[in-house]
């Protein structure tokens, strides 16, 4: 498998409106040795910026601590407004193995980063998903529920004492959720119809929570085009449920409902391994590995 030993970090920072602050945050990551800042996506409505960077564990930890230093200095959640629920200046930091076999490394990096953030910045840290030490904290939604505004009250309960750091929020920077999770693929299938109910029915039929495919989360949504609705999918484990299997399930259900598929789209970055199942199926390829992709060899 391609990219062995490399980890992706996708820190979500509660600042999406002040360009000079976003630039300073990005510069803290980009200027840190041994990491590549691959993407910066800011959303003014959510007042949030999502960074994507890749590197080995130790280099990532150093870069992320530099990000925290800027965020703690420049962001004050007491005067922060935005649509997205958030608990901290550096709200969430998922660590994602490029090779699923490196999950234990991600859990270590999350744990070490959590301890360092608590010690250096006096911020309470919750470890989530595969890094969670408490079953209740696996789900990020649970940790974030109530947001920054509800944090002081929430933390009074013993069940919400943090994994690291003080028993109350940082006055301006709140708390932080640091976790390890599998690589998500954000994948949308567009349907040639204006009937939102059809997209919702297909979403229900393919998603895990309604008995569909194991690694699929899906909802039906409208798009910017009046005659197109969308099945918006998060594939949380592409090794368990492949991308082409998701597509074929949507296609089968759309056929049954008499609707045609317009096209599909992958949002953002995707590891080569997630695309391979579709390629090998289309070409009846055998014995092919991502190691044979030139760019994967170069990325090592």
Q: Which residues bind its own copies (CB under 8 A)?
A: 2-3, 6, 8, 36, 38, 54, 98, 243-244, 247, 261-266, 268-272, 275, 278-279, 281-288, 290, 292-299
- Spatial contact of 205 and 215, defined as CB atoms under 8 Å apart: no
Minimum separation from the CB atom of position 10 to its own copies (A): 12
Count of C-beta atoms within a 10 Å radius of residue 285? 11
Integer Cα distance of 247 and 242 in angstroms: 9
Integer Cα distance of 128 and 64 in angstroms: 17
Question: In terms of CB distance, is 98 or 173 closer to its own copies?
Answer: 98
Integer Cα distance of 127 and 112 in angstroms: 11
Minimum separation from the CB atom of position 275 to its own copies (A): 5
Minimum separation from the CB atom of position 102 to its own copies (A): 14
In the three-class reduction of DSSP (H, G, I as helix; E, B as strand; rest coil), residue 201 is classed as helix
Count of C-beta atoms within a 10 Å radius of residue 178? 29
Element (H, E) at 121: helix 103-121
* 269-272 LR contacts (CB < 8 Å, sep 24+): 269/38, 269/39, 269/52, 270/185, 271/2, 271/3, 271/98, 271/183, 271/238, 272/2, 272/296
Element (H, E) at 197: helix 196-206
Minimum separation from the CB atom of position 196 to its own copies (A): 21
Question: In terms of CB distance, is 117 or 296 closer to its own copies?
Answer: 296
Q: CA-based angle 244:249:250, to the nearest 5?
A: 100
Minimum separation from the CB atom of position 286 to its own copies (A): 4
Question: In terms of CB distance, is 42 or 290 closer to its own copies?
Answer: 290
Question: In terms of CB distance, is 14 or 190 closer to its own copies?
Answer: 190
Question: In terms of CB distance, is 240 or 262 closer to its own copies?
Answer: 262
Integer Cα distance of 204 and 249 in angstroms: 11
Integer Cα distance of 254 and 195 in angstroms: 12
- Provide the annotated active-site residues: 84
Question: In terms of CB distance, is 3 or 88 closer to its own copies?
Answer: 3
Q: Where does residue 1 rank: exposed (0-12), middle (13-18), buried (19+ CB within 10 A)?
A: middle
Alpha carbon dihedral 2, 111, 168, 13, in 10-degree steps, equals: -20
Only one residue has tokens 């009074």, namely: 156
Minimum separation from the CB atom of position 34 to its own copies (A): 13
């Amino acid at each position: 498998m391609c990219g062995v030993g490399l980890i992706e970090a996708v820190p979500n920072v509660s600042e999406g409106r002040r360009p000079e602050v976003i630039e300073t945050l990005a510069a803290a990551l980009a200027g840190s040795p041994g990491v590549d800042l691959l993407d910066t996506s800011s959303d003014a409505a959510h007042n949030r910026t999502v960074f994507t960077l890749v590197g080995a564990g130790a280099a990532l930890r150093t870069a992320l601590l530099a990000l925290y230093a800027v965020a703690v200095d420049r962001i004050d959640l007491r005067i922060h407004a935005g649509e997205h629920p958030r608990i901290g200046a550096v709200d969430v930091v998922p660590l994602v193995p490029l090779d699923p076999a490196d999950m234990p490394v991600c859990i270590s990096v999350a744990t070490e980063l959590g301890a360092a953030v608590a010690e250096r910045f006096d911020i309470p840290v919750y470890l989530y998903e595969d890094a969670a030490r408490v079953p209740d904290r696996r789900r990020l939604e649970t940790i974030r529920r109530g947001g920054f505004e509800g944090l002081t009250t929430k933390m009074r309960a013993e069940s919400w004492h943090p994994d690291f750091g003080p028993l109350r929020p940082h006055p301006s920077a709140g708390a932080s959720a640091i976790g390890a999770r599998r690589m998500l693929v954000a994948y949308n299938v567009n349907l040639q119809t204006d009937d939102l109910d059809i997209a919702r029915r297909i979403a229900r039929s393919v998603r895990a929570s309604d008995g569909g495919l194991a690694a699929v989360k899906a909802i039906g949504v409208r798009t910017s085009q009046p005659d197109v609705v969308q099945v918006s999918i998060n594939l949380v484990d592409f090794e368990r449920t492949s991308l082409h299997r998701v597509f074929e399930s949507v296609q089968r259900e759309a056929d049954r409902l008499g609707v045609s598929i317009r096209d599909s789209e992958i949002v953002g970055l995707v590891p080569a391994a997630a695309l391979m199942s579709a390629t090998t199926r289309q070409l009846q390829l055998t014995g092919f590995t991502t190691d044979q992709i030139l760019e994967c060899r170069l990325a090592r």
